Structure 1
Amino acid sequence: MLEQRTGKTLTSESDQAAQLYGDALDLILGSESGAAETLDRALALDKNFALAAAARYYVANDVGEPDATGYRDLAQRAALTASDWEREHVEVLVGLIDEPGATREKAEAYLRETPGDLLVMSQLAGTLFFYGGPTKLETVLGIFEAAESVLGDDWAFLARLGFAASEAGQYQRARQLIERALQMRPQALYSIHALAHLLHDEGAAEESATLLRDWLAKHEDTARAGQMFGHVHWHLALDEWQMGERDAAMRRYLEFSAPATTTCGPILTLADCGGFLLREYLKSGQPLPLRDDVLAHIERVWGMIGHPFIALHVAGLYASAGDLAGLERCAKAIADTPAGPNRDTSLKLVSALSDYVSGQFPHSVQTLATLSRGARIGIGGSHVERILVDLLEQSATARA
């Protein structure tokens, strides 16, 4: 059987297993419910199915399953008897998950030879959004545009190309691409999330809220276990918050998007709770104690505190609680990381938040003013993170 996007032959003892793998890829790329279970069924039919095992590792790692490495080991063993392209797929996908920096060039070379491998392309794009530095927006868009002649009519590709175009500021083009993707597969969480991001960047909270409420009314039951379900609710909570419905927004955040209730993986969970609680603090000026689930999640991601994305959200959480000791803990841990742009940016973010909490608003503004546009892009994540830094800067300026 041929893999649906690359057109290459799958090595599997079972045609049914191969079909299930294709179904699971659609669920993964849509961030929809059921991918893990579908891959488990494929592996039950063919325990030596390398690509299914690699995809299962992708899913398990994304949501933080404790036994995720077992799927990685299975994929690597099974790849020994698979075809050349399947071995390379497994090697690149696992490398991007485990050692993203060291695997980037290999992944880019692989995609030049196999431009239809959207799972690898998606993982590479995610890596670049996090680690790609000041030029990441153009780089990610270029990677997707290079595959347009091969995947141009694929709904999952259109959604990702649209998201990349949106991040690069091409909103009209992005909207056309994402809406086309939603027409083709309306239940895809990834696609509705991409449109919510675009509307957030355009400041269209009311339009976004209407869109998301309508979408959830139709698809919530089938999307509930999807990996972005909590994040889509976060976007709706953010819309409500922006429209002044702050109590409703907090209830939605706690019910669907907090670490104890979300379906998202560790990094997106951190971004959602950090971004929401810091926004509320900047608006109200009133610190709120961090709940146990948030404190536990901070410890879960603490080993990455030297990365600006993690530093922004962890320090933002401590700031939202008025916890100067927690902010000092961040600064000390970051100071012990290797010297370089990431450490410099992380320390500035923590310093600005510490000054804000301490009431030293002019100094907070001065520190943030030293962050160039490139440094802000290099924080990682999406435009949502850059807007969060802008909100901190605006609030500190107003209070100064």
Structure 2
Amino acid sequence: MIDARTGRRLTTGHPEAAGRYQLAVDRILGSETGAAEALDQALALDSNLALALVARHMLAKDSGAADADFFKERALLAARAALPWERAHVSALLGLLEDPYTNLAATEAYIAANPSDLLVISQLCGYLIFYGGARKLERVLHIMESVDPSLRDDWAWLARVGFAASEAGDHNRGRALVERALQRRPQALYVIHSYAHVLHDQGEPGESLELLGKWLNEHRPSAEGSVMYGHVQWHLALAEWQLGLTEQAWQRYERYCAPETTRCGPVLALADCGGFLFREYLRTGTTRPISAAVSALPNRFNSMLSHPFVALHLAGIHASAGNISALEQSKAAIAAKEASDQTRLSLRLVDAVSQYAKGQYAEAADTLKLISADQRVGVGGSRVERILIDLLETRAVELAA
């Protein structure tokens, strides 16, 4: 059997197992439901399909499942009897999952030699979006554009390169690419999620409201089991909020996106919660009590406070609740960590949010002026986070006047 994207032979005597594996990869790349089930079906037919085993390990690790190491051990064992390219794929994916920073150079070397392995490419770019620093926009776009020409009409590649192009500033090109992806794979949550980002980048909440509303109505039965489902709903809630449909946005947020109800993983849950609560606080200036599930988020992420993405969203949650003491505690915890560009940026972000929450608007504006455009890219996440920082700065300047 030949792998559809790489064009290389898979080590299996079971064509149906190979088919189930490739279905699973499509579902992984589309953030769709049923990927784990398809992999389990493939492994029931061929328990030694190394690529299926390492993909199953990836899903188990992402979900925190207890059997993640079991699949890893089986993948390593099966790789011994696999083809060289399969062994290289297993090694690259495991290295990226276990220690992406240490294995960054090795992963990029693997991609250069295997430019059609979109599963590894997408995992690497997902890591760089959060940890790639000030040059990540160009870096991710370069990686995506260096893929094998055979992928240039692949929906999963189109969605990713379109997202990357928009993030790097070419919104029109990004939109055209993502629209092509949606035509080819209309059910994919990753594709509609990319489209939502492009529309946000273009400042088109009205279009986003219409597009996401129609998409969710059509694809809800197949989409609502996905871990990305709550985040797509969050994008719709954000569009509603931007258009002044505040009560409708809050209802959607609480039903699908809040920590109590979302299916998203912890990082997206934090971003959706912190981003929504902080935006509402910046607009209204009114604090509100937070739920037990929201209160639990800081404990879950305190060890990651030195990462600016985490620091920003936790600070937003504390500010929205009027919890000045928690903001001061966060500043002290970051200051106690080893000094680095990252910790200094985290401290500056929390400091600005704390100053704003205390009514020190001019001081907050001055603090934010010190954060350069490159540093804002290095916060991590997408342009959604950079716009959130801009909103904070704009509001601080307005209130300081």
State the TM-score bracket (shorter-chain normalisation): over 0.9
In the alignment, structure 1 segments of 5+ residues that lack a partner are: none
Q: Which amino acid aligns with 1:46?
A: D
Question: Where does residue 301 of structure 1 map in the other structure?
Answer: 301
Q: Which amino acid aligns with 1:147?
A: V
Q: Contact 2:234 / 2:256 at 8 angstroms: preserved in 1? A: yes
Separation in 2, partners of 1:86, 1:64: 25
Separation in 2, partners of 1:125, 1:296: 29
Give, in angstroms, the shift of residue 57 of structure 1. 2.2
Separation in 2, partners of 1:374, 1:213: 34
Separation in 1, partners of 2:372, 2:81: 50
Question: Where does residue 388 of structure 1 map in the other structure?
Answer: 388
Q: Check 1:277–1:39 CA distance in 2 against 1; reply closer, same or farther (3 A cut).
A: same
- Bigger Cα displacement from structure 2, 330-339 vs 343-352: 330-339
User: Which runs of structure 2 are paired with 1:52-71 in the superposition (5 Å)?
Assistant: 52-71=52-71
Q: Which amino acid aligns with 1:397?
A: V
Question: Where does residue 264 of structure 1 map in the other structure?
Answer: 264
Question: Where does residue 231 of structure 2 map in the other structure?
Answer: 231
**Quick check: 1:377 aligned with 2:370?**
no
Question: Where does residue 251 of structure 1 map in the other structure?
Answer: 251
Q: Which amino acid aligns with 1:251?
A: Q
**Local SS of the residue matching 1:101:** coil
Give, in angstroms, the shift of residue 105 of structure 1. 0.8
Q: Check 1:76–1:303 CA distance in 2 against 1; reply closer, same or farther (3 A cut).
A: farther
Q: Which amino acid aligns with 2:22?
A: G
**Local SS of the residue matching 2:174:** helix
Question: Where does residue 22 of structure 2 map in the other structure?
Answer: 22
Question: Where does residue 329 of structure 1 map in the other structure?
Answer: 329
Question: Where does residue 319 of structure 1 map in the other structure?
Answer: 319
Question: Where does residue 46 of structure 1 map in the other structure?
Answer: 46
Q: Which amino acid aligns with 2:6?
A: T
Question: How big is each residue's C-alpha offset from its partner over 1:298-351, in whole Å with a ceiling of 9 and x where there is no partner?
Answer: 322332221111111111111111111221222222223332110010000010
Question: Where does residue 175 of structure 2 map in the other structure?
Answer: 175
Q: What is the TM-score with the length of structure 1 in the denominator? A: 0.97
- Bigger Cα displacement from structure 2, 144-153 vs 120-129: 144-153
Give, in angstroms, the shift of residue 206 of structure 1. 0.7
Residue correspondences, number: 400
Q: Check 1:292–1:76 CA distance in 2 against 1; reply closer, same or farther (3 A cut).
A: farther
Q: Contact 1:182 / 1:191 at 8 angstroms: preserved in 2? A: yes
In the alignment, structure 2 segments of 5+ residues that lack a partner are: none
Q: Contact 1:334 / 1:343 at 8 angstroms: preserved in 2? A: yes
Q: Contact 1:118 / 1:157 at 8 angstroms: preserved in 2? A: yes
- Bigger Cα displacement from structure 2, 242-251 vs 8-17: 8-17
Q: Check 1:74–1:300 CA distance in 2 against 1; reply closer, same or farther (3 A cut).
A: farther
Q: Which amino acid aligns with 1:35?
A: A
Question: How big is each residue's C-alpha offset from its partner over 1:172-221, in whole Å with a ceiling of 9 and x where there is no partner?
Answer: 11111100111011101111111110111111101100000111111111
Q: Check 1:304–1:151 CA distance in 2 against 1; reply closer, same or farther (3 A cut).
A: same
Q: Contact 2:116 / 2:148 at 8 angstroms: preserved in 1? A: no
User: Which runs of structure 2 are paired with 1:94-113 in the superposition (5 Å)?
Assistant: 94-113=94-113
Q: Which amino acid aligns with 2:239?
A: D
Question: Where does residue 188 of structure 1 map in the other structure?
Answer: 188
Q: Contact 2:11 / 2:49 at 8 angstroms: preserved in 1? A: yes
Kindly, what percent of the aligned residue pairs are identical? 52
Question: Where does residue 347 of structure 1 map in the other structure?
Answer: 347
**Local SS of the residue matching 2:347:** helix
